[in-house]
Amino acid sequence: LYPKKQLILPDIMTEMQVEHLFRAAHSLKGRCVGGLLYGCGLRISEVCNLRIQDIDSANKRIKVVQGKGGKDRFTLLPQQLLEQLRNYYLEAGRPQEFLFTSTQTQRALHVRSMQLVVNAAMQKAGFESGRFTAHTIRHSFATHLLNQGNNLHVIKTLLGHSKLETTMIYLHLQHHTQLGIVSPLEKLGDGTVGD
């Protein structure tokens, strides 16, 4: 018999914290990376391996090629992020294959280097070191989509999860008030608990 796996809820950022992060990210690269994590729900490794040809600007979507579990999928591409990616492409000297390229190797940027970009943006935003990570931004993408009333199966597809159970963790992070759920205590008379 194996012990039951613990359910540990991930940290998420509020919409205000995400907005603050984007305002604080001074570099175009930082805004693009943050936009791909929050606007598209990509994993940091998927941001590193994003190729120019996978950005489908006509259909406003990004193709994730061989994401975790060796699966291809499509995800969202917000218009404002598309404009920033175009600007970054020009600023980076029109890279040939990968959007984020290492100056030393001319290959896709390493995950560790990409984490440094995210950490620098978090630091500029004034968040305590280690509190939020690139994965926190992805968790926030999923939770905020759920809060907006989007279908769990659609979110599962956008995130590239193979099991619905993995996506269901975001139900625990959802704002109950937005679901119209009210504690039964609120329904008692004046809502106060007697002595």
Residues classed as catalytic: 43, 68, 135, 138, 161, 170
Residue 81 class from Cβ within 10 Å (0-12 exposed, 13-18 middle, 19+ buried)? buried
Residue 121 to residue 22: CA distance in whole angstroms = 8
User: 166-170 long-range CB contacts below 8 Å, 24 or more apart?
Assistant: 167/142, 169/7, 169/9, 169/10, 170/139, 170/142, 170/143, 170/146
Three-class SS state of 117 = helix
Q: Note whether 51 and 97 are within 8 A (CB).
A: yes
Spatial distance between the Cα atoms of 7 and 5, rounded to a whole number of angstroms: 7
- Alpha helices in 44-103, H assignment, sequence order: 44-48, 79-91
182/184 Cα distance (integer angstroms) = 6
DSSP 176: G
